[in-house]
Amino acid sequence: MVEATEVSPVLSSPTTMSLAWCANLHTCAEGLRSLADELRVRRQEAIDLNSNGITTNPSGGVATYYLPDPPPDVTDVDAYWARTDTVANVQAYNSQSVATAKSEAAELEEALANGRSSRGRTPEEIIEQINKHRDIPTYGLAFCMTMGVDTMLDAPLNAQADTNYAHEEQPAIIPTMIDTFGHLMCAASSLSEPSSYPVASSPDSAHQYSLAGSIYEAVTEEGHEGRATVLDAYMTADGTVYDTDFLVGLGGYMEGIEEWPDEPRGVTWTTNSGNDDYGARYLPGHSTDPLAAALNAMGNNPEAANAYLAPPDEDYSPLIDNEGGDDYWRPSDLAQQRMEMLASREWTPQSLEGLSAAFAAVSANRAPAPGNDTDDRAAWATGQGILMLAEQDLPNGTVDENIGIMLGNCGPEVVGIANRSGIVPDDYEVYQTSSVATGADGESIEAALAHLLWEASDSAQANHYIVRGTTVYTAARASAAVQADTSGNPLAAIKVTYDDQASVLDLISALSQDRADDGYNGAMAAAGLLSAVPGAGLLGTGVSTALTLQGSPQVDATGHDESSALRGAAYTNAFESGLINNPPDPATTSWYSVGPDGRVTISLDTEDQLEDFNGWILAGAGGSPTVKSTFNEIGVDDPAARWESADDFKKQYGGASW
């Protein structure tokens, strides 16, 4: 903001007072005029944006303009806004962005229909230009309004209409359109009003445009139900995280659709066995269930998954109505109704990808959240998901991986099953988390979870997620045990927790060996990567260690053994608890690093790092012989509670027909 209120030093001189005063008044007047002009431009930008059916503050009742929020790494927010909130930027991100979007949307639609636009550009050339602006919300929403969601959803289907995909490759422009249109819709989702009922304003309407309403109308238009397959592709485009309110609103629309076409069986590019009936109707590899598309997008937004699967009860607050404070949450009527709807819905191998993605995402909210019910709601929803998914005929591939992520975020339950101690930890457990069995039959959830462990055990990727997630849980549990230790022997507290985790690796190894060598190798590789747990020993830092679909690591089947993995994680706890007498120098150590916040990371991703780490232990573990001898015994004992075999496990949980 222009400051024009400071008194000039010349006013203290009587001989120059008159001239100086006049000069200062002139400067002030010019400054005020300049400021007024800037404010007038900003006001007009907001008015023009709103008149185009776009508002950046749909629930605030005040017309506003758009500017990008500060990136996460910006520390001086005031300085950021001082640089960013300029007239030039306001115009560039608002009126100019909208005008460009309208122009390029119209030109692309023309080029898709005719091969080239009247300006001579091909669709590919126009899309290349669009990609420069596709993540700007004002541009994205104006583009969707101008081209129309129905046209955007039809574009890939029209591109494959004349292609016999039983024998030909997918046209190259289709993945390009999926990527670009997916990003455009994602950007638009942050500005579009979800609305409480299906409605789609026209581009010329002064009323707020509903992207979710437009999508609903497009996928329910008679004869165009196959647009849902394209929507599924757009909702899962790489690098997209759709807005939370938008996804919850879209899910509310889609759950009301009770009929949709059967999915073409076996229809994928080059494997259609000559049946080309679906060429212009469905996008191969995607579900025809519109709700599955919304659920799939929630897989990349854990907050949205929690808000949709476990919506809070607006008339009840556990922090107000429950004397125990944060430790109790009851599912709202809407949450119960939604789970009943999902449980009764018919799921296919394709649509199960969306359902399992949403439950994987909601499980990422299970980290303890004192002061609110986020973790309680997520735990309840995860428990419902375990029951629901265990009843399905689960396909291999993506669904297995999603289940692996969900189970990886079920540390207490998986550790309990592996040690035959039940899925609800005892009251004396120092690292308490909300239970998935809240308000449900604990035995049924335990049996269902055991079934899912078995189902996922032939997937190398799923094994990786399960072992990685439960090891992160174990690291947090060990840290809490050290802080609560009163015996004077924190090493023993750490070892006990990692002995429990060793049982998880034993169980996963037994199940995967029994089912497939690939799964077994994946479990071993997963264990080798697990010791790179950043800050595992620090609690209360606000850093989530949950697994999510976004940025999930891929298995690197190097085959490191389990004991090295568990020792690496345990030593992370030891370093951060001050139990290592002489820590190594991070500058000269391949496997050891310390972040700016003091967090220790032990990385055993390569054979060289593993060799150096083991050599450091053999040399005395930094002058800490007691730590060395204690941790060398992790997982060595063979407690009677461990499972003898996969058959023993299946017998216990009634898995004869698995």
- Helix residue spans in 200-269 (DSSP H): 211-219, 227-235, 244-254
Neighbours of 15 (CB within 10 A): 8
pLDDT of residue 281: 84
**CA–CA dist 341, 586 (Å, integer):** 54
**CA–CA dist 253, 245 (Å, integer):** 12
pLDDT of residue 464: 85
User: At what angle are helices 374-390 and 398-408 packed, to 10 degrees?
Assistant: 140
**φ, ψ for residue 133 (rounded to 5)?**
-125, 0
| CB within 8 Å of 264: residues ≥ 6 apart | 275, 277, 278, 282, 284
**φ, ψ for residue 295 (rounded to 5)?**
-65, -40
- For residue 382, give Cα distances in angstroms to 255, 421, 494: 19, 20, 28
pLDDT of residue 8: 37
**CA–CA dist 505, 471 (Å, integer):** 10
Query: If you compute the radius of gyration of the chain from its CA atoms, what whole number of angstroms results?
Result: 29
**Helix, strand, or coil (residue 602):** strand
| Token pair of 76 as six digits | 């001086």
pLDDT of residue 232: 97
Contact (CB, 8 A) for 365 and 473: no
Question: Which amino acid belongs to residue 364?
Answer: A
Using the Cα atoms of residue 537, residue 541, residue 547 and residue 551 in order, give the sign of their dihedral.
negative
If we measure between CA atoms, which residue out of 181, 190, 171, 128 comes closest to residue 151? 181
Angle ∠(615,617,619) on CA atoms, nearest 5: 70
C-alpha torsion 545→624→581→563, nearest 10: -20
If we measure between CA atoms, which residue out of 435, 342, 346, 345 comes closest to residue 382? 435
Q: What is the pLDDT of residues 170-202, one digit of tens each?
A: 889 999 999 999 999 999 999 876 654 445 544
pLDDT of residue 267: 56
Using the Cα atoms of residue 288, residue 290, residue 293 and residue 295 in order, give the sign of their dihedral.
negative
Is the pTM value of this prediction over 0.75? yes
| CB within 8 Å of 621: residues ≥ 6 apart | 571, 580, 627, 628, 631
pLDDT of residue 22: 57
- Taking 50 as the pLDDT cut, the residues of the chain under it are 1-17, 196-198, 201-206, 274, 276, 319-321, 324-327, 522-544, 551-561
**CA–CA dist 191, 47 (Å, integer):** 15
pLDDT of residue 639: 65
| CB within 8 Å of 227: residues ≥ 6 apart | 150, 153, 154, 157, 218, 219, 221
Contact (CB, 8 A) for 436 and 387: no
DSSP state at residue 192? S
- Residue written as token pair 């997008």: 297
pLDDT of residue 330: 82
DSSP lists the bridge partners of residue 600 as: 594
Question: Which amino acid belongs to residue 412?
Answer: P
| Token pair of 596 as six digits | 């700016």
| Token pair of 325 as six digits | 């404070």
DSSP lists the bridge partners of residue 592 as: 602
